[in-house]
């Protein structure tokens, strides 16, 4: 029996009205992604990359089509159920980090856990384990202004990881970094796939960043250049 894909999209479309014009950033997209894959999405501005990322992350809802992730058809979830699903299954990594400047690295990473039922001691252990995973346990008390750009992005990755989601989505995660810091972030993302089984979907304009992924797909005018697409882990493709 064929393995069921972790992410399964069929006919995925997103449209909205802008004045009297209908804008369709994503149209009739088919995509399958196996768990444990690292996928890079490339394409010109306006090609639908971030729209697709936000749909998969459950931040936005499609106009039509099927979107099943980890067995859950997230298009059928109401707002409260979708918020709960997202909190347990998705970590989002932004280009500009979006850290709270008055909070320490520890406090920024702890934020997603504050609404959980974990006690203070359990939260602290989880945050410190995650900061250690990204190589920043010695910077737990530092605020964002006391960190380099690469370190800030590592804190942002730790925040995305702390609830142990199966899926990480990253929108230009190296776009604001120098080449060496970018390499370190990409090495970290690859380690999360190889050693921790995370599934990562990354939007990037940088071919060198995309080359760190297992697979690269190109979007043009809301469609995949090759469709339908099936992205597999290296182990599956061998």
CATH of the domain at 112: 3.40.50.300
Q: Please give the model's pTM, rounded to 2 decimal places.
A: 0.88
Q: What pLDDT is recorded for position 115?
A: 78
Q: Is residue 184 a part of any domain in this protein?
A: yes
Q: Is residue 149 a part of any domain in this protein?
A: yes
Write the CA distances from 188 to 102, 111, 126, 222, integer angstroms. 26, 21, 18, 30
Locus of tokens 């690859």: 190
* Consecutive 10-residue averages of pLDDT for the chain (238 residues): 76 89 89 94 89 93 93 92 91 90 96 85 94 94 94 94 94 90 93 94 93 92 69 47
Burial class of 19 by CB neighbour count within 10 A (0 to 12, 13 to 18, 19+): exposed
- Which residues are CB-neighbours of 102 under 8 A, at least 6 positions away? 143
CA pair distance 219, 11, nearest whole angstrom: 15
Q: Is residue 197 a part of any domain in this protein?
A: yes
Q: Is residue 1 a part of any domain in this protein?
A: no
- Report the number of distinct structural domains present in the chain: 1
Q: What pLDDT is recorded for position 18?
A: 84
Q: Is residue 38 a part of any domain in this protein?
A: yes
Q: What pLDDT is recorded for position 21?
A: 87
Q: Is residue 214 a part of any domain in this protein?
A: yes
Q: Is residue 18 a part of any domain in this protein?
A: yes
Q: Do residues 147 and 156 touch, judged by C-beta distance below 8 A? A: no
Identify the domain containing residue 200 by its residue range.
7-237
Q: Is residue 58 a part of any domain in this protein?
A: yes
């Amino acid at each position: 029996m064929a393995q069921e894909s972790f992410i399964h999209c069929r006919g995925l479309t997103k449209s909205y009205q802008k004045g009297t014009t209908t804008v369709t950033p994503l149209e009739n997209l088919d995509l399958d992604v196996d768990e444990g894959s690292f996928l890079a999405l490339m394409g010109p501005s306006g090609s639908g990359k971030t729209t697709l990322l936000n749909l998969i992350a459950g931040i936005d809802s499609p106009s039509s089509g099927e979107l099943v992730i980890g067995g859950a058809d997230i298009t059928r979830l109401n707002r409260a159920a979708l918020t709960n699903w997202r909190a347990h299954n998705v970590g989002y990594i932004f280009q500009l980090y979006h850290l709270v400047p008055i909070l320490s690295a520890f406090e920024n990473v702890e934020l997603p856990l504050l609404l959980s039922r974990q006690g203070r001691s359990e939260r602290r252990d989880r945050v410190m384990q995650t900061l250690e995973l990204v190589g920043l346990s010695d910077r737990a008390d530092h605020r964002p202004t006391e960190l380099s750009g690469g370190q800030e992005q590592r804190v942002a990755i730790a925040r995305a990881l702390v609830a142990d989601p199966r899926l990480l989505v990253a929108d230009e995660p190296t776009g604001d970094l120098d080449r060496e810091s970018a390499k370190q972030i990409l090495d970290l993302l690859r380690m999360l796939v190889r050693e921790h089984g995370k599934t990562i979907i990354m939007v990037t304009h940088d071919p060198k960043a995309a080359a760190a992924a297992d697979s690269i797909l190109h979007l043009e005018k809301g469609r995949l250049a090759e469709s339908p697409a099936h992205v597999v882990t290296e182990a599956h493709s061998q």
